[in-house]
Amino acid sequence: MDRELEIKVLKIDVEEMKKKLEEKGAEFIGVEIQKNHTFAPKNASEFSNGYLRIREKTLNDKRERTELTFKESVDSKDKVRVNNEYTTTIDSTSNMIKILEEIGLVEKYVGDKERISYSYKGQKFDIDIWSKNVYPEAYMEIEFTNLNLMDEILDEFEIDRENVTTESINELIENYK
């Protein structure tokens, strides 16, 4: 299990944010192309405490492993979202989808996402651009290893606190409608 401490910054200008990161000396990690399959119980719109997804990805044009992850929302306190991620590698997306359907889950949506990643002050910055039919606006996720840096980083990048959220992608999608 991995623990994640993250926020999302909405209403970003992708090119402007990339420029700011590069000017401040952030390390460019790469561009990841993802296909995300998100699942929910047949008789509910979502799990009560998180979500289940299959993620197929390539990083810098190189095929990476495919993963099944249950992302459990543990807390959203101190202006940061705390998740536990339970992840395993899978060999076949189609077989895993069939297994999930057989145990009563349904595919809620499939979305393509471009993720542009940087590292700055030991924190991970992911600029996420989803296919327009899933979520039409780009945002940036900042994953913290040190919460003491949160205000410093938000100030350094001149990020308006009104644009900071702890919502999951599923919550963003639901609230955008």
pLDDT tens per residue across span 86-102: 999 999 999 999 999 99
3-class DSSP state for residue 70?
A: strand
pLDDT tens per residue across span 48-73: 888 999 999 998 889 999 999 999 98
pTM (predicted TM-score): 0.92
Provide the CATH number for the domain around residue 60: 2.40.320.10
Residue 38 identity (one-letter amino acid): T
pLDDT at 77 (0 to 100): 66
Domain that holds residue 36: 2-176
- Rounded to 5°, the CA angle 110-86-142 comes to 70
Look at residues 6, 16, 170, 165 and name the one whose alpha carbon lies nearest to residue 85.
6
CB-CB contact of 46 with 40 (8 Å): yes
CB-CB contact of 134 with 173 (8 Å): yes
Question: Total domain count for the chain?
Answer: 1
CB-CB contact of 82 with 53 (8 Å): no
